[in-house]
Amino acid sequence: MNLIAPTSSTAFINEICSRRYQFSRVVGKPTHVQIEYNSHESRVDHVWITLQVSEYGHMRAAVNTLSKLNRDAGFDERVRVGMVREPWQTLPETGIFYCESLDYTGIESRANVFYEFRTKPEMEELLTRKAETAILIEVWGDIYAHNHVGIHQIHSRRASCAIAQDIIGRDGALKFYYAEEQASEMLLFKFCGQP
Protein backbone atom coordinates (compact mmCIF):
# COMPACT_ATOMS: atom_id res chain seq x y z
CA MET A 1 0.00 0.00 0.00
CA ASN A 2 1.27 3.45 -0.91
CA LEU A 3 0.53 6.58 1.05
CA ILE A 4 -0.50 9.74 -0.79
CA ALA A 5 1.96 12.42 0.29
CA PRO A 6 0.36 15.58 1.68
CA THR A 7 0.75 18.63 -0.57
CA SER A 8 -1.04 21.91 -1.14
CA SER A 9 -4.83 21.81 -1.28
CA THR A 10 -5.00 22.26 -5.07
CA ALA A 11 -2.26 19.71 -5.72
CA PHE A 12 -3.96 17.26 -3.37
CA ILE A 13 -7.31 17.57 -5.18
CA ASN A 14 -5.52 17.15 -8.53
CA GLU A 15 -3.82 14.03 -7.17
CA ILE A 16 -7.17 12.62 -6.04
CA CYS A 17 -8.72 13.40 -9.46
CA SER A 18 -5.85 11.61 -11.21
CA ARG A 19 -6.49 8.55 -9.02
CA ARG A 20 -10.25 8.50 -9.61
CA TYR A 21 -11.76 5.03 -9.18
CA GLN A 22 -8.60 3.74 -7.49
CA PHE A 23 -9.38 1.46 -4.59
CA SER A 24 -8.08 2.99 -1.36
CA ARG A 25 -8.07 2.87 2.42
CA VAL A 26 -8.62 6.08 4.39
CA VAL A 27 -8.06 6.43 8.14
CA GLY A 28 -9.17 9.51 10.03
CA LYS A 29 -10.78 10.99 13.09
CA PRO A 30 -14.55 11.57 12.78
CA THR A 31 -15.41 15.26 13.12
CA HIS A 32 -18.98 15.45 11.79
CA VAL A 33 -21.79 13.12 10.76
CA GLN A 34 -25.00 14.00 8.97
CA ILE A 35 -27.72 12.50 6.85
CA GLU A 36 -27.41 13.54 3.21
CA TYR A 37 -29.65 16.45 2.31
CA ASN A 38 -31.54 16.89 -0.95
CA SER A 39 -34.78 18.68 -1.78
CA HIS A 40 -36.00 15.42 -3.35
CA GLU A 41 -36.37 12.87 -0.53
CA SER A 42 -36.16 9.97 -3.01
CA ARG A 43 -32.56 10.94 -3.80
CA VAL A 44 -31.36 10.79 -0.19
CA ASP A 45 -29.43 7.54 0.20
CA HIS A 46 -26.28 8.32 2.21
CA VAL A 47 -24.93 9.21 5.61
CA TRP A 48 -21.95 11.56 5.30
CA ILE A 49 -19.14 11.06 7.80
CA THR A 50 -16.46 13.75 7.75
CA LEU A 51 -12.97 12.58 8.73
CA GLN A 52 -9.91 14.59 9.69
CA VAL A 53 -7.20 12.74 7.79
CA SER A 54 -3.76 13.67 9.14
CA GLU A 55 -2.18 16.59 7.24
CA TYR A 56 -4.57 16.24 4.32
CA GLY A 57 -7.52 17.98 5.87
CA HIS A 58 -11.08 16.68 5.74
CA MET A 59 -12.54 13.88 3.63
CA ARG A 60 -16.13 12.72 3.39
CA ALA A 61 -17.08 9.05 3.65
CA ALA A 62 -20.39 8.64 1.79
CA VAL A 63 -22.07 5.49 3.15
CA ASN A 64 -25.19 4.10 1.47
CA THR A 65 -28.37 3.75 3.51
CA LEU A 66 -30.26 1.99 0.70
CA SER A 67 -29.83 0.89 -2.92
CA LYS A 68 -31.59 3.29 -5.29
CA LEU A 69 -30.75 1.03 -8.24
CA ASN A 70 -32.42 -1.99 -6.64
CA ARG A 71 -35.40 0.12 -5.52
CA ASP A 72 -35.90 1.65 -8.97
CA ALA A 73 -35.68 -1.81 -10.61
CA GLY A 74 -38.37 -3.16 -8.26
CA PHE A 75 -36.08 -5.08 -5.91
CA ASP A 76 -35.45 -4.82 -2.17
CA GLU A 77 -33.72 -1.51 -1.44
CA ARG A 78 -32.54 -2.42 2.07
CA VAL A 79 -28.91 -2.88 3.04
CA ARG A 80 -27.70 -6.11 4.66
CA VAL A 81 -25.16 -5.29 7.37
CA GLY A 82 -22.58 -7.71 8.75
CA MET A 83 -20.34 -6.90 11.70
CA VAL A 84 -16.99 -8.19 12.89
CA ARG A 85 -16.03 -7.18 16.44
CA GLU A 86 -12.50 -7.43 17.77
CA PRO A 87 -10.15 -5.67 20.19
CA TRP A 88 -7.41 -3.35 18.98
CA GLN A 89 -3.94 -3.02 20.43
CA THR A 90 -2.62 -0.13 18.32
CA LEU A 91 -4.63 2.35 16.27
CA PRO A 92 -3.80 2.46 12.55
CA GLU A 93 -1.88 5.43 11.15
CA THR A 94 -4.09 8.17 9.73
CA GLY A 95 -3.80 8.95 6.04
CA ILE A 96 -4.83 7.86 2.56
CA PHE A 97 -3.44 4.55 1.35
CA TYR A 98 -3.88 2.72 -1.93
CA CYS A 99 -4.98 -0.89 -1.55
CA GLU A 100 -4.69 -3.84 -3.85
CA SER A 101 -7.92 -5.43 -2.66
CA LEU A 102 -10.45 -6.19 0.05
CA ASP A 103 -12.74 -9.18 -0.42
CA TYR A 104 -15.58 -10.04 1.94
CA THR A 105 -15.09 -13.76 1.32
CA GLY A 106 -11.71 -13.62 3.08
CA ILE A 107 -13.23 -11.88 6.10
CA GLU A 108 -16.21 -14.26 6.13
CA SER A 109 -13.87 -17.28 6.07
CA ARG A 110 -12.12 -16.04 9.25
CA ALA A 111 -15.18 -14.80 11.17
CA ASN A 112 -18.78 -15.89 11.58
CA VAL A 113 -20.45 -12.92 9.87
CA PHE A 114 -24.24 -12.69 10.19
CA TYR A 115 -25.96 -10.20 7.86
CA GLU A 116 -29.07 -8.37 9.02
CA PHE A 117 -31.43 -6.32 6.84
CA ARG A 118 -31.59 -2.62 7.77
CA THR A 119 -34.08 -0.04 6.54
CA LYS A 120 -32.95 3.46 5.59
CA PRO A 121 -33.90 4.98 9.00
CA GLU A 122 -32.18 2.08 10.78
CA MET A 123 -29.02 2.62 8.71
CA GLU A 124 -29.07 6.35 9.43
CA GLU A 125 -29.39 5.74 13.17
CA LEU A 126 -26.74 2.98 13.22
CA LEU A 127 -24.12 4.95 11.27
CA THR A 128 -24.75 8.19 13.15
CA ARG A 129 -24.50 6.53 16.56
CA LYS A 130 -21.31 4.65 15.73
CA ALA A 131 -19.60 7.64 14.07
CA GLU A 132 -20.41 9.87 17.06
CA THR A 133 -18.90 7.29 19.45
CA ALA A 134 -15.78 6.29 17.50
CA ILE A 135 -12.37 7.86 18.08
CA LEU A 136 -11.08 6.74 14.67
CA ILE A 137 -12.61 5.34 11.49
CA GLU A 138 -11.00 3.23 8.77
CA VAL A 139 -12.73 3.15 5.36
CA TRP A 140 -12.18 1.07 2.22
CA GLY A 141 -13.62 2.27 -1.09
CA ASP A 142 -12.97 4.52 -4.11
CA ILE A 143 -11.64 8.04 -3.56
CA TYR A 144 -13.03 10.98 -5.52
CA ALA A 145 -12.99 14.78 -5.75
CA HIS A 146 -15.97 16.91 -6.78
CA ASN A 147 -16.77 19.99 -4.72
CA HIS A 148 -15.14 18.09 -1.85
CA VAL A 149 -12.72 15.18 -1.44
CA GLY A 150 -14.20 11.89 -0.34
CA ILE A 151 -14.46 8.13 -0.48
CA HIS A 152 -17.49 6.14 -1.64
CA GLN A 153 -18.44 2.66 -2.93
CA ILE A 154 -18.29 1.55 0.72
CA HIS A 155 -20.09 -1.75 0.15
CA SER A 156 -19.78 -5.08 -1.65
CA ARG A 157 -19.10 -4.65 -5.37
CA ARG A 158 -20.39 -8.08 -6.38
CA ALA A 159 -23.27 -8.40 -8.84
CA SER A 160 -26.66 -7.57 -7.30
CA CYS A 161 -30.30 -7.88 -8.30
CA ALA A 162 -30.06 -4.65 -10.31
CA ILE A 163 -26.39 -4.67 -11.42
CA ALA A 164 -24.92 -7.46 -13.55
CA GLN A 165 -21.29 -6.30 -13.29
CA ASP A 166 -19.43 -8.51 -10.81
CA ILE A 167 -16.37 -6.76 -9.32
CA ILE A 168 -14.26 -9.03 -7.13
CA GLY A 169 -11.66 -7.80 -4.65
CA ARG A 170 -12.87 -4.20 -4.31
CA ASP A 171 -15.42 -4.54 -1.50
CA GLY A 172 -15.75 -1.38 0.57
CA ALA A 173 -16.06 -1.48 4.35
CA LEU A 174 -16.15 0.74 7.42
CA LYS A 175 -14.29 0.05 10.67
CA PHE A 176 -15.02 1.98 13.87
CA TYR A 177 -12.45 2.17 16.68
CA TYR A 178 -13.69 2.91 20.20
CA ALA A 179 -11.76 4.03 23.28
CA GLU A 180 -14.00 1.96 25.56
CA GLU A 181 -12.45 -1.49 26.05
CA GLN A 182 -10.24 -0.78 23.02
CA ALA A 183 -12.90 -2.39 20.83
CA SER A 184 -13.45 -2.13 17.09
CA GLU A 185 -16.35 -3.00 14.78
CA MET A 186 -15.93 -3.60 11.07
CA LEU A 187 -19.18 -3.19 9.11
CA LEU A 188 -19.72 -5.01 5.81
CA PHE A 189 -22.53 -3.90 3.51
CA LYS A 190 -24.41 -5.94 0.90
CA PHE A 191 -27.38 -5.21 -1.36
CA CYS A 192 -30.14 -7.46 -2.69
CA GLY A 193 -28.73 -10.40 -4.63
CA GLN A 194 -25.10 -10.07 -3.58
CA PRO A 195 -23.52 -13.32 -2.35
At 53-76, the pLDDT tens digits run 977 788 999 999 999 999 999 999
Number of H helices, E strands in the chain: 4, 10
Q: What would the pLDDT profile of 112-132 be if each residue is shown by its tens digit?
A: 999 999 999 999 999 999 999
CA 154 – CA 62 distance, rounded (Å): 7
Please, where are the H alpha helices in the chain? 9-18, 68-72, 104-110, 120-133
**81 forms bridges with which residues in the sheet?**
116, 189
Phi-psi region of 5 (alpha: psi -120 to 50; beta: other; left: phi over 0): beta
Quote the pLDDT of residue 44. 93
